[in-house]
Structure 1
Amino acid sequence: MTNTARMKINDVSPAAYQAVLGLEKYIRANVDGELLHLVKLRASIMNGCSFCVDMHSREGLADGMSSRKLFAVGAWREAPFFDERERAALDLTEEVTRLGDHGVSDEVWDNAVEHFGQEGVANLLMAIATINVWNRLSVSTRTQPPVE
């Protein structure tokens, strides 16, 4: 497989890109920044999106997040760096990103609602859905992280 980018969505379909960007702006205003970095990074790892993994890990570091915490997102269940609220968000991220035959289990859903309330879960769902859109666009178009 080649790593040559196929297209830039923003150039080919700017209105569609702006629509997704509108969701992005909403979630940035309504989801805690550190939690959002964790959710975006976890979904991007799961989806194999090198562009987004690079971007969200660099953004997290730039925003002052612990490198140990960011590096541990791939093994968050075993890592001691995450509190119960973050674990609930990461669990929800995994189940929404995978969906599979069962969707989101009642246990994961109830735990997320306990930590975030209905509105917080709605905003997390929008964040998870949005990063999954970005991941699918980037992977499909072979968008690569900048080489510095």
Structure 2
Amino acid sequence: MTDERIHLSRTVPSVYEKIAAFSTEVGQVARAAGVPATTAELVQLHASQLNGCAYCIRVHTKRLLTAGETAERLAMLPAWREAGIYDERERAALEVVEAITLIGDGGLTDREYRDVLDILSVDEYAAISWIGVAINAFNRVAIAGRYATGPHAAGR
């Protein structure tokens, strides 16, 4: 028996390819809805933090840094409600993705839902929700397979 876990994307690549295609479609929907790329990355990073997915945290942190995001905003993301450095649209998006990620807690209350829709359009809300669904799927694939994140995986 090996300590290495089954790598789902390599073991059954056809399913992983479909998840990747789904994610690409979600990205197109988000762009069409006007969701800024940095917001899409922030919500993916936050969902990955909530799920404890080191692999996806690394991926989305690198993407945000490449896009010019600041270290302060990345460091403050787990405390986004109190940080005071995210705009109202980012906060609404983070509220949505957090509710999707922690769906067992009941999702958005009716009040939170109305508040979010006072800020986000229906298309933005739908796009961010789909981003949440997609990143949660990727988090589960990476966590289940314990995708490598150590120094040996830095180039991945």
TM-score higher than 0.5: yes
- Match runs of 1:68-79 below 5 Å: 68-79=72-83
One of 112, 123, 130 as aligned partner of 2:127 = 123
After superposition, what is the alpha-carbon deviation per residue over 1:84-117, rounded to whole angstroms, capped at 9, x for unaligned? 1111111111111111252321122222222221
Taking the aligned partners of 1:20 and 1:5, their CA distance within structure 2 comes to: 23
SS in structure 2 of the partner of residue 76 of structure 1: helix
Runs of 4+ in 1 over 6 A off after TM superposition: none
The one-letter amino acid paired with 2:112 is: V
Say which of 112, 115, 120 aligns to 1:111. 115
Q: Distance in 1 between matches of 2:131 and 2:105?
A: 22
Partner residue, 1:11: 10
C-alpha contact (below 8 Å) 1:27/1:127 kept by paired residues:
yes
Indicate the residue corresponding to 1:41 in structure 2.
45
CA drift at 1:146? 4.9
| Residue identity opposite 1:112 in structure 2 | V
- 1:28 alignment partner in structure 2: 27
Per mean C-alpha deviation after superposition, the further-off stretch among 59-68 and 107-116 is 107-116
- Give the TM-score of the pair, scaled to structure 1: 0.90
1:111-146, Cα deviation, whole Å (9 max, x unpaired)? 222222111111111100000001111111111225
Report the counterpart of residue 57 of structure 1 in structure 2: 61
Using the TM superposition, give the Cα deviation of residue 45 of structure 1 relative to its aligned residue in structure 2, in angstroms. 0.5
Distance in structure 2 (CA, Å) of the matches to 1:71 and 1:108: 25
Q: Is the Cα–Cα contact under 8 Å of residues 36 and 127 in structure 1 kept in the other structure?
A: yes
Q: Identity of paired residues, percent?
A: 28
Matched residues in 1 for 2:105 and 2:53: separation?
Answer: 23
SS at match of 1:77: helix
Count of aligned positions = 145
Q: The residue matched to 1:142 in structure 2 has which SS?
A: coil
The unaligned stretches of length 5 or more in structure 1 are none
Letter in 1 for 2:23: E
**Pairwise CA RMSD of aligned residues?**
1.5
Listed one character per residue, the Cα deviations across residues 43-67 of structure 1 (whole Å, up to 9, x for unaligned) are 0000000111111111100111122
TM-score scaled by length of structure 2:
0.86
